Structure formats: structure tokens, C-alpha cells
A and B are shown apart, each in its own frame.
Chain A
Amino acid sequence: MQQIINFIIRNKTFLLFLLLFSVSVLFTVQSHSYHKSKFINSANFLTGGVYSTVNNISEYFSLKSQNEILAEENNRLKSILYNSRSKLDSVFIDSLMFGTEYKFTTAQVLKNSYNIIDNILLINRGTKDSVQQDFGVITDKGILGIVDQTSKNYATVLSILNSNSRISAQLKKTNHLGSLIWDGKTPEYTQLLDIPKIAPIETGDTIITSGRSSIFPKGIPIGTINDFKLDQSENSYIINIKLFNDMTNIEHVYVIENVNLPEIKSLLNNE
């Protein structure tokens, strides 16, 4: 017993080092798996507060360009609204459910990163604004990510530029499904895997969300095909997609809540 205590006292520096090192490696491993980084995330009072204070100042520098983006989007939405007025006359049988499948909330990005392999964003909406895990996040141009951890006022968003995120996507012209996975190289391009060899694809084709994951509605644009090749098994394509979003310049985003998600989840869990 005496010897054990002596050993601990003699090597206390090394043991402390070993302990703290393994604790931090544990945190690291947790952060590399989906929805696990419970303790170490920036959705808390301290880091969120610091980021929102700084964002309060720095948002003024991009006001002009962000205004232009918003005006452009308004323009696009107006043109859709006024050109499709006649369709609004059609009758919905179940009028209670009409238009309530997806709820949208606006949010502002406080922290954006795109240069490491697991990129995470911070937005200024949290449980107070009824934002919860697994809500989708999009911008006016396309898809951005999925809400990961939430606190009262803030939420972290697992970007599509994250090796853990797998988003179900499909070709716009056919219904061939694949999953969107980032290879970690450049923030302009992401990869679409598992599109079968039989699918007719061409450079320049548009990729949209499939709606199968019930996080995003079907048809949110993602990007266009830049180039493609067959994978090792020669059964499916590895497609390089150029994103519509400029992931390095994001300010205003929309959080999507699928109202039916709990129902879908409980149904799938019953099986």
C-alpha cells in the first residue's frame, strides 16, 4: 500500500497528464460522433454571449451585401407569388392541415466555420424560440445543416460541411436517392454518394433534398453536378457537387420545423 502511494506521489505529474489527456481525447471522440457533444459546445451562456456581442458590431460591415441578398430573395418570392395566383383558388379537403406541415423561423448566424473537417455553426435561436435538435436549417439559396445542441438562447448547427452529417438528397429530374457527405477538402464542393449507376446524370444537373429524412421538405436546392465518377465497386457514382450556397458568407438563415416529425418518429420506432 505504502509503495502504491509512493508511486502515485512520485509520478503525480505524469498521472495528471494522462488523466487530462484521456479526458480531452474522450471529448474529441464524442465530438466525432453524431449528436454526442453534450458538454463541449458553443451553445451556452458564455460563448453564445461573447459571439452575439461581437456579432452585434460586425454585422454592420456586411449590411449592404446582406440587404442585397434579402432583396433578391424577396424579388424571387414575389415573382412566384404573383405568377401563381390562380392556383390559390384550389380547394384543400383537409383545410386544418394545410400549410402547417413545416414551420419556419428566421435566425442569424453568430459563428461560422468552414476550414476544419467538422464544421459547426452557432445561431441565435434556442429552446426559447422552440428550436430543437434535428430541425433543418436553410438559407435563401439552399441547404445549410441540421440543429445539433440547443440551449435557452442559442443552438449549434451541424453544417453540411461536417464529416458526421449525412443528408438524403436526390436528382431533380429523377427520383434516384443518394446521401450527401463532405470529403473535407474545399467548402465550395460536397460529395453525393450511392446514386446508382443506372441513373441518367449529366454535368450541370441540379441536386435537391429528397424529403425522406423528414427533416427537410422535398425540393430544397443543394447544388449542381460538377463532375462524377464510378466508385470502387462500379455500382454507384461518386458525384462532386458545387453548392449554391457560399458557405463562407452566411448571415440570415431559416430554421425549419417539421410539425409531423414526432409522429413519424414514433411510427418508425414502433416497427
Chain B
Amino acid sequence: MNNVLSVHSIRFITLVLLQVLIFNHINFLGYINPYPYILFIALFPIKNNRINIILLSFFLGLCIDLFLDTGGVNAAACVFTAYIRPIVLKFSFGTIYEHQTIKFESVDLGSKLIYFSLLTLAHHLILFSLQLFNISKIILVLQKTLFSGIFTILMCMLISIIFSRKHK
């Protein structure tokens, strides 16, 4: 238990620092930034209580918001992502999820891709619609969601492949 706790605390801090110090300064083509910090929500243990993950996601988002001066935009997006995660899990992994036996290291690449994509798109849609906060800029919201989303999914896949522990 202690080990799990420390792994997730370290992951929390590392992802927040990486996000605010590196990934938010990429500005590919002027405005496209990846948000791979949602990996924390995506890779959170499934057996754990849903209350825990929603609370932790809120604090994760709030930390990012503190650094980026964005009000509560990231917190709202993270809470939403954490709330819909069981539905996304069920959709992308099907029966394995029902038996509660998913190991993120061992699932096949296709369903992992679908899982990350759905979470990312949900997160980015909330994030950018709250950030722009203007219904007449809906096209810009969708555009940013799409482009940043592709970038985020790519980063998430890369990070999760590089840091997966296959030798177990």
C-alpha cells in the first residue's frame, strides 16, 4: 500500500511539474500544447474508490490552474474526466473491466488508444470551452480540442509505452 501511495504521489508531482514547465511552453504552430498530465487520472488504480479519484483529480487540476493562472478551468476538466472514467473504461475495455482485472501494462494497444482518446477529448472539450468562455467561438473550441487532443494522445501513448514495466 505504501509503495502504491508513494508511486502515485511522485507521479502527481512529476506530471504537474512537467506540464507547467515544459509542455505548456511548446506552443506548436503558435497555440497547440499537449496536456499529458491527465495520465494521472487515466492510470489511477481502478479498484480504488471513485470518491478518491474525483477528489485527487480536483486537486491535480487546481495545482495546474495555480501555476497557469487559469482560474478553475483545468480543475473542472479534470473532475469531469474523473467522473466519466468508469463509462469510458467500460466502453474501451469491455469485459475485462467488469472483472476488475485490468493491468494497464498488459492491455493491447488498440483499446488503450481508444481509452486515452476518449478521456483526452472529454477533458479538452471542457477545458477549451471554459477557457474561451464564449459560445460564439465554438469553432475555435472544437479546433483547439482536435489539434491539442491529437498531440496529447500522442504524448500519452509515448509516455505510457516508455515507462511501462513489461518485465513483470
Binding site for B on A (CB under 8 A): 12-14, 16-17, 20-21, 23-32, 37, 40-42, 44, 46-47, 50-51, 54, 111, 113-118, 120, 122, 156, 184, 186-187, 248
**Looking at the complex, which one of A17, A29, A46 makes contact with B54 (CB distance below 8 Å)?**
A17
* Nearest chain B residue, comparing its CB with the CB of A248: B27
The answer to whether A20 and B67 have CB atoms under 8 Å apart is no
Q: Does residue B130 face the partner (Cβ distance < 8 Å to A)?
A: yes
Residues of A within 8 A of B66 (CB): 40-42, 44, 46-47
The answer to whether B133 and A32 have CB atoms under 8 Å apart is yes
A20 in contact with B69 given A27-B75, A115-B30, A115-B31 (CB within 8 Å)? no
Known A-B contacts: A28-B70, A118-B69. Give 4 more (CB < 8 A): A29-B71, A30-B72, A113-B68, A115-B31
The answer to whether A20 and B73 have CB atoms under 8 Å apart is no
**Looking at the complex, which one of B20, B30, B72, B83 makes contact with A17 (CB distance below 8 Å)?**
B83
Binding site for A on B (CB under 8 A): 17, 20-21, 24, 27, 30-31, 33, 50-51, 54-55, 58, 61-62, 65-73, 75-76, 79-80, 82-83, 130-133, 137
The answer to whether A13 and B75 have CB atoms under 8 Å apart is no
The total of Cβ contacts below 8 Å across the A-B interface reads 112
The answer to whether B54 and A13 have CB atoms under 8 Å apart is yes
The answer to whether B27 and A16 have CB atoms under 8 Å apart is no
**Looking at the complex, which one of A13, A20, A115, A248 makes contact with B33 (CB distance below 8 Å)?**
A115
The answer to whether A16 and B132 have CB atoms under 8 Å apart is no
Residues of B within 8 A of A122 (CB): 69
Q: How far is the CA of A32 from the CA of B130 in the complex (A)?
A: 10
A28 in contact with B67 given A16-B51, A115-B31, A117-B132 (CB within 8 Å)? no
The distance from the CB of B48 to the nearest CB of chain A, in whole angstroms, is 12
11 contacts between A and B (CB under 8 A): A17-B80, A20-B58, A27-B72, A27-B75, A28-B76, A40-B62, A40-B65, A46-B66, A111-B69, A118-B71, A122-B69
The distance from the CB of B137 to the nearest CB of chain A, in whole angstroms, is 8
A24 in contact with B67 given A13-B50, A115-B31, A117-B131 (CB within 8 Å)? no
Q: Return the 5 tightest CB-CB contacts between A and B, nearest first.
A: A31-B71, A27-B72, A24-B72, A24-B75, A24-B76
* Nearest chain A residue, comparing its CB with the CB of B30: A115
- Residue in A27, A111, A184 with the greatest tally of chain B CB atoms within 10 Å: A27
Q: How far is the CA of A15 from the CA of B109 in the complex (A)?
A: 34
Q: How far is the CA of A46 from the CA of B80 in the complex (A)?
A: 26
The answer to whether A42 and B73 have CB atoms under 8 Å apart is no
The distance from the CB of A208 to the nearest CB of chain B, in whole angstroms, is 27
The answer to whether A12 and B51 have CB atoms under 8 Å apart is yes
A28 in contact with B133 given A17-B54, A20-B58, A113-B68 (CB within 8 Å)? yes
Q: How far is the CA of A17 from the CA of B83 in the complex (A)?
A: 7
The distance from the CB of B147 to the nearest CB of chain A, in whole angstroms, is 12
The answer to whether A40 and B54 have CB atoms under 8 Å apart is no
A20 in contact with B65 given A26-B72, A54-B21 (CB within 8 Å)? no
